[in-house]
Structure 1
Amino acid sequence: MLSVKSRKLTFFLSGLGIYLLLTLAVLFWYQDDVEQMSWVDREVFNHKIINSYSSTANIQQQEVLQRLGSPDITTAVQQNNTLYQLLYYRTHRSVADGITTADECTALLFKNRRLIALGEPAVTQYQAIAANGG
């Protein structure tokens, strides 16, 4: 009688262990597909990822595009041989009108495809560059 209970417990614990391992594998190695997310999930995802970025971390534009997908709004200016690009990713919705505006986004400023500023400082820097003949 004890061996049947012991076997059931062994099977249960083995199954639980396999379940936990598979769950952890999905959480750590599965890449989210931003193209398949609902707009609500994508906003939360964008906010989470952008908050993990730092302008001093030498993040390349291609890395951001691979992780977050296409930006919601883009603007660029070339000044001499330097390219400045401002990418906006929606991180919060203001009005449920179906239109994404810059005030619903977080801006990322790239200089020659390297991240140099985030958020409002990115917008301010870009506007100053563009106003100075960019």
Structure 2
Amino acid sequence: MMQKAASVFQLKLRKWTWLGIGLAVYLLLTATVYFCYQDDVDQMTWVDREAFNHKLISQYKLTDNLTQDDVMRRLGTPDITEAVLQGKDLYQVLYYRTHRSVADGITTADECTALLFKNRYLQAIGEEAVQRYSVISGHAN
């Protein structure tokens, strides 16, 4: 009777061991994909890309000292871009679509979030970027 109980216990222990190993492998693979897989913006649908752009841009802080290359490497090519040279300073505003207003197949600046760069370093985000660029470029109202 003791041997039979010990044998049943060993079978249950083996079953739980394999279950634990399987769970650990699953969690390891999931974590690997989550932390190591980079989203490819060129392969996203427009809906996914808008959400992706909005999520990433909302995490940007001006104190992070982000470069234009950092942003473009992560977000890809901007939907709209403008630039002006003022003295020795290059100002560029990149527009990434973050919300669609009209389903007309055309992306307009009002459907985008603007990122203003001075000499390739992020200076302003959103409406502040648009306003500052308007003043710098001479298009202010």
Shared fold, TM over 0.5: yes
Runs of 4+ in 1 over 3 A off after TM superposition: none
Query: Highest Rg: 1 or 2?
Result: 2
Alignment equivalent of 1:108, drawn from 103, 111, 115: 115
Structure 1: gaps of 5 or more residues: none
1:123 and 2:130 matched: yes
Structure 2: gaps of 5 or more residues: 1-7
Over residues 3-59 of structure 1, what are the superposed CA-to-partner deviations in whole Å (9 max), with x where a residue is unaligned?
222212111111011101110111112111111111111111101110111123211
2:3 aligns with none
1:84 aligns with 91
Q: Distance in 1 between matches of 2:62 and 2:13?
A: 56
Q: Distance in 2 between matches of 1:123 and 1:95?
A: 21
Cα RMSD, aligned residues only = 1.1
> What is the total number of aligned residue pairs between the two structures?
132
More relative contact order, 1 or 2 (CA 8 Å, 6+ apart): 1
1:48 and 2:48 matched: no
1:15 aligns with 22
Alignment equivalent of 1:96, drawn from 77, 96, 103: 103
Matched letter for residue 76 of structure 1: A
Query: TM-score of the superposition, structure 1-length normalised?
Result: 0.94
Q: Distance in 2 between matches of 1:119 and 1:46?
A: 12
Among all aligned residue pairs of Structure 1 and Structure 2, give the percentage whose two residues are the same amino acid. Answer: 63
1:63 and 2:77 matched: no
Alignment equivalent of 1:75, drawn from 78, 82, 88: 82
